[in-house]
Amino acid sequence: MICKDRAEVRSKKQEARSKRNLFSCLLPLVSCLLFFRSANAEDSLLRESVRFIKDGDYQGAIQILDSIKERYAGTGWEERSIYLSAHIYMKTGLFEDALKSFKKVADGYPPLSDYAEYNMARIYTEKGEYQMAFDILNSLLEKHPLTRLKARAKFDMARNILMLKDFANALKEIKNFIAEFPSDERITEGYLCLAQSLEGLGEKIEAYNTYKFLYYNYPLDPINEIALNKILEIKRDESIKFPPADKREEIKRIEELIKGKNYNMAISELVEMSKKYKYDPFREMVLFNLAIAYKYSRSDSKCIQTLHDFFRNFPESPRAAEGLYMMSKLYWNTGDTKKAIYYSNAIMSKFPKSVWAGKALYIKARIAEDEVKSDEAIELYSRLLKFREPKELAEEAAWRIGWIYYQKDDYHNAIENFRKGIELFQNSQYADSLLYWIGRAGEKSENAEIAIQSYQRLVTEYPYTYYGHRGYERLAEYGIRNTEYGMQNAGPEILEPEHETPTPESKTPDMEYRFDETGKYHIERAQELIEMGFLEDAREEIKFIPLSDEVASLLFVSRLYSKAEAYTDSLATQNRILDKLKNGEQGRLTNEFWSLSYPLSYWEIVLRSSSENDIDPLLILSVIRQESVFNKSVISKANAYGLMQLVPQTGERIYRIIWGGEFKTDLLFEPEINIEIGARHLSELHQVYNGNLVYAIATYNAGPIPVRKWVENFSSLPNDEFIEKITYPETRGYVKKVLRNYENYKRIYGKSGKEDKGCNGGGC
C-alpha cells in the first residue's frame, strides 16, 4: 500500500531526503547498471537523474552524472551526462556553466547538437542578448535542415527581433512563421507578436484587427484576455474609426467555445447575441447554436424551449430537419416516446430524402422494439435498410431484425436475417456480431453444423474482438479447442521478431533499410531523448518520422512510441497495421505486436493494488486501457480524471478510507493513487454483484442506478444476451471492449487464475 505520508503530502523535502539516501545506495551500482544496460530506457541510470531533476534534487542528479562522466569519458554516455548537467545549470541560473556544457555537446555529439544549440539560444534570450540568440537559431536552421525544432526556432527568431524593436523585420519573420506553421502550438503567440509588431510600426487598425482575430478565433487560449485588453486600449484612440465585429467572427467564437466544451460561456454570449440580433436574420444561427450549447450542457428543457423559438421564427431554415431530430432524440432519451415519434414523423414528412429522415426512422424503430412491438419494429428496420445514409444505422438495423427474431425464439428467421446483414454490408462493423448470433441461433435450434461453421469463421476472421473470444468459448462447448486459431500464429508470421531498440552505439537493420535519411535522423534523436527521460520531446520527434505502409516499419515506430510512454500514438500506429490486414490475417501477427497493443504499463503499481484489493491485475489493465489508454493526465468530458478515469466524488470517498487526510482532485493524476482507488472501486463493485464481472464493469461506466434497472429486467438472461439489452450504447460498447481487453491480456500473458462468474457459460 502507498504510505500515507507520500500519498497525502508529497513533501518535496521528504522526497529529496529519500532520494539522497537512495543515491548513496545507487553509486556502487552505476557501472553495473550501465554495463548491463537494458534496451528499455526505464532501466537507464540517466532516467533516474532526470527524475531527480524533475523533483528539484539537483545535487543528487549532478552527483550521479559526474560519476557517469568520469567513468565513461570519451563515450556517448559522457556526452549525455554533460547534456543533462547543462539542463540543471540552466534551471538553477548558472548560465555560463550551462552554455559551456551545451556548447560541448553541440560541437561534439551530433545526435543532440540541435537541441543543445536551441537551449543555448534560450539562455541568451533569458540574458537579454537577443541578437546572439537570433544568430544561434539562424545557424541551427542552416546546419540542421531536418530538425523538428524548426518551428520553435523560427518563432523565437521573430520574437528576438521584436525584443530588439526591429519591428519591420519582426513583422516579416512572424508572417513567415504563421504562413509556414499555421497549426503550431505557438500560433496564438505568433499572432500576438504580429499585432505587437504592427503596433510598433504605428499600424493601429491592422494591430486592432489582429487582436480582434485572436479574440474571436481563440476564445479559450490564455492569450485571449491579453487580446481583449489590447482591443479596449487601442479603441480609446477616438481619432480612428475601428471596424465593428463581423457576424461571422462572433459565431466563430461561439463555435470554438462549444468545441472546447465551455458551454456556460457560449450560452452567456449567445443569450446576449440573441437580444442584440432580435430582428436580424442572423438570429437564426444564434438560436440554433444556443440550442446546441444547451443540449451539450444537458439543459434539456432550455434546449427544447430554444428550439421551439427557432422553429417559430425560422420554419424554413436549412437546419430545421436537424433541429427536429434534436427534439425527437431529447424526448426519446427522457422517455416521452409520443413526442419523440411526433417529431420523427415531422422529419420524415417534411424532409423524406434527408439524412435526418433515416435517423428519425431509427428512433421510431427503436421505440417500437423497446415496446415489444416486434412486427412494427421489423417493418421500420426493413425500411431503414434502403437508406444509404447514415450507413451505420442501416447496418445496425440489419442486426436488430435478426435480434428481434432471436428474442422471439424464431431461430430460423434469426439466422436468415443475420446472414442477410452479412450479405448486404461487406466489412460491416457488425460482421463479428452477426456471425456470433448466427452461431447462438444455431445452438438454440440444435443445429450444431450452423453453429460450429459460424463460430469457426468468426474466430478465424475476428479472433481478438469481443465476439471472437465468445466464439472461442462456444467452440469449446463442442470440444473444439482454439489451438489453430488466433494468437497461436497460424501460418507464416506477418511481423518479424522484435529487435532490440537501437542506440547510436548499436544500430539494427531497421535503421538501414526501412527508413530514409529523414526517418533515421528523427529515430536517432528520439532514442537519445528516450534514453535520458525527455519523453515529451521524444514523442514529438517520433511524429516527424515519415511512415510507410510497410508493416515492419509501423511496428518499429509503434515500439518507439511505447518506449516514450506515448501509448495512444503507439496504439494508433498498431491500428494502421490492423487496417492493412484482410479478414483472417490477424492470427498471423506476432506476440510482440499484441504485447505492444496490450502493454503491462504501471505494472508494479497494478500488481500491488491487485493484491491489496483481491482483483485480477489484468482486469485493472483492461479498464485502464479502455478508460485512458494509459494517459495519466487525461480529463474526460464527464469530469473523470487520470488512468482509471475517476470522478472526484469516488476518488475522495475511497481516498479518505485508505489514507485519510485532505483530498485534492489533482491527486488523481498520480498513478499510484489513481490505480489504488480505481482498483478498490472495481473490487467493491465486484463484491456487490457477487463476482459478476459484467455487472461490475457496467456499473463502473454507467453508475449503479441504470445497472440496477437492467439487472431487475434482464438478470435471467445469459450474460451475452444481457449485454445486448443494456440500453446505453456507450455502456454496452464499453463492457464489450473491457471484456475484449481482458481476454486479450489473458491470452498474451496467461490467465491469472481468478474466475469470474460473469464470464462463464453463455459468454460475457
Residue 82 corresponds to which amino acid?
I
* DSSP bridge partners of 506: 503
Mean pLDDT of 571-584: 85
Does the pLDDT value for residue 560 go beyond 90? yes
| Same domain assignment for residues 34 and 105 | yes
| Same domain assignment for residues 741 and 706 | yes
CA dist 85 and 610 (Å) reads 39
Does the pLDDT value for residue 31 go beyond 70? no
Mean pLDDT (the chain, rounded): 88
Of 2-6, 211-215, 233-237, 605-609, minimum mean pLDDT range = 2-6
| Same domain assignment for residues 88 and 153 | yes
Q: Give pLDDT tens digits for 653-686.
A: 999 999 998 999 999 999 999 999 999 999 999 9
Domain finish residue from 182, 209, 243:
182
Reference 151, options 120, 122, 177, 171; nearest CA is 177
Q: Whole domain around residue 147: which residue ranges?
A: 4-182
Residue 483's pLDDT is what? 52
CA dist 537 and 689 (Å) reads 45
Residue 32's pLDDT is what? 36
Assess if residue 393 is contained within a domain: no
How many secondary structure helices (H) and strands (E) does the chain include?
Answer: 41, 0
Residue 311's pLDDT is what? 95
Residue 14's pLDDT is what? 37
Does the pLDDT value for residue 486 go beyond 60? no
DSSP conformation class of 499? P
| Same domain assignment for residues 566 and 703 | no
Q: How many domains does the chain divide into?
A: 3
Does the pLDDT value for residue 634 go beyond 60? yes
Q: What is the pTM of this model?
A: 0.84
Mean pLDDT of 150-178: 97
* Residue 192: band (very low, low, confident or very high) from pLDDT cuts 50, 70, 90: very high
Mean pLDDT of 311-329: 95
Does the pLDDT value for residue 587 go beyond 80? no
| Same domain assignment for residues 116 and 172 | yes
Does the pLDDT value for residue 499 go beyond 70? no
CA dist 567 and 621 (Å) reads 13
Phi-psi map region of 675: left, alpha, beta (phi>0 left; psi -120 to 50 alpha): alpha
Which contacts of 602-607 are long-range, i.e. CB under 8 A and separated by 24 or more positions?
A: 602/630, 602/643, 602/671, 602/675, 605/671, 605/672, 605/675, 605/676, 606/675, 606/679
| Same domain assignment for residues 79 and 153 | yes
Q: Give pLDDT tens digits for 9-25.
A: 334 333 333 433 333 33
* Residue 612: band (very low, low, confident or very high) from pLDDT cuts 50, 70, 90: very high
653-666 as b/e: b if 16+ CB within 10 A: ebbeeebeeebeee
Mean pLDDT of 502-511: 42
Does the pLDDT value for residue 592 go beyond 70? yes
Residue 72's pLDDT is what? 86
Mean pLDDT of 692-709: 97
Q: Read off the C-alpha cell for 429.
A: 462493423
% the chain with pLDDT above 90: 76
| Same domain assignment for residues 670 and 535 | no
| Same domain assignment for residues 35 and 176 | yes
Does the pLDDT value for residue 116 go beyond 90? yes
Does the pLDDT value for residue 426 go beyond 90? no
CA dist 224 and 243 (Å) reads 19
Assess if residue 353 is contained within a domain: no
| Same domain assignment for residues 77 and 124 | yes
DSSP conformation class of 44? -
Does the pLDDT value for residue 581 go beyond 90? no
Instruction: Name, in order, each residue with C-beta under 8 angstroms of 449's C-beta and a sequence gap of 6 or more.
Output: 442
**Nearest-10 Cα torsion for 650, 654, 656, 660:** -140
Assess if residue 331 is contained within a domain: no
